[in-house]
Amino acid sequence: MSDPKKTANELLSKASISAAVYSQLDQKETDDIVEAVVKAGLSNRVKLARMAAEETGKGLWKDKVIKNVVSTLGVYFDLIGEKTAGVIKEDRLRGITEIAQPLGPILGVIPVTNPTSTVMFKILISLKARNPIIISPHRNAMGCCAEAARICYRAALEAGAPDDCVQWVTEFSRDLTHELMTHPDLALILATGGSGLVKAAYSSGTPALGVGAGNVPVYIEKTADIPFAVENIILSKAFDNGTICASEQAVVVEEAIAERVRSEFEKQNCYFLPPPEVEKFEKIAVDPERGVMNPAVVGQSAVRIAEMIGITVPEDTRILLAPQTEVGLEYPLSGEVLAPVLAFYVCEDLNQALKLCIELNYRGGIGHTASIFSNDDDTIRQFSELMNAGRIVVNTPSSQGAVGGIFNALHPSFTLGCGAGGKNITTDNITAANLINVKRICRRRENDNLLSIPTEIYLDESRGAEEIISRYNWNH
């Protein structure tokens, strides 16, 4: 294995030179590069999806094709017209002109659950902001990530991008990741992965945009269209075998409609685990030593997970549901499980349901996403105000809704910020706008500022705040 420090220096040296050249490109040249990369990625959407599913052993290749489409075509149309080079805004009235400035070399850390789609997404938003990027894949997705990066890089070069605007790590090494994260020439870390990795990114001393864990509660309120709600939850949770961190983790219903909801799930090919089988699954769902999801469960089908438990379910089973009564670390299924498994809670009334959703939210998904199915605006508003989540999806499949660009106008993104609650810096769906510095030309204004009032007035303690405010308003 190569020397991590030497490799990091080589990668960042090339990236720094690339950044210097890239910063001189104008908006038209930048957009031409982005369009070329989109076309290349979109043309290889099926190949890369198959590679990702085969190499990682997680998810469904057909669903990964859709992810690849969202990360290229969806992102492209979201970025069209976005100014990321030169003057991006001019306010003549206030005398302020805003100019986009690239950040510099970016490190893109890639998860095993969404490898090729996240690679293409991070490359596109980085190139749109005129930043070179180094891709650091999960150790179990090195091959498909390298191929996705290679396809994008080749297209970028042909469109006039500078050499080394896209690079990728060819061998997994924690030491190399550390050297890259802490390198003085690195401008930003785009971290998508487990909580340990994201924490390492934020602790590196380099600016970072990371993501928190998702533990999405979905509340089916009594006014909801129940068949529609169940259909959408299944559409979301079964997608790519539940590998999107914005997928629903726990269904919360009121007692008055619980049997109708349960019957509808069963009608739509879902299986409720009896208590003994729930206990068996709890023992394999989470690694007891580390308290995290068992990697062997992540991204597997409902039928395969049933086999792991030691039971047989119909071949067309889409989701396994595990009835629960409590929330906490000692209840593994009340936390995030990236697989087609849902906890199922029954509450007495609205107040208890909201309280439970808050507990689930704080169990391990603060700042991420919460979901509600309801036709009552007051309940939707109350739910939204109580949840500590960057995205509240309403009557929408949570996975596709939170990612954006499909069921709503959120920025299509494979890096979903969770704000301060999730130990992130933003709740945004990260996009190119998050990857530029904005410098401001500030032109002088006369007699229209705080000093338009004589300084003597400020120095006179007998002058009250009301008088000073009224004087300023009059002068202003």
Helix axes 4-22, 174-181, angle to 10 degrees: 40
CA 476 to CA 471: how far, in whole Å? 8
Tokens found for residue 178:
């550390």
Tokens found for residue 47:
């190949």
Bridge-based pairing of strands 286-287 and 292-293 is antiparallel
3-state class of 354 per DSSP? Answer: helix
Please pick, among 144, 145, 152, 245, the residue that the annotation labels catalytic: 245
444, amino acid identity? R
- Give me the residue label for tokens 């697989």: 339
Phi, psi (rounded to 5 degrees) for 451: -90, 10
| Known active-site residue 144 | no
CA 265 to CA 234: how far, in whole Å? 8
Give the DSSP letter of residue 71.
I
Spatial contact of 192 and 118, defined as CB atoms under 8 Å apart: yes
CA 232 to CA 226: how far, in whole Å? 10
Ranges assigned E (strand) in 185-241: 188-191, 208-210, 216-220
Of 22, 140, 124, 15, nearest to 77 by C-alpha is 124
Active site residues: 245
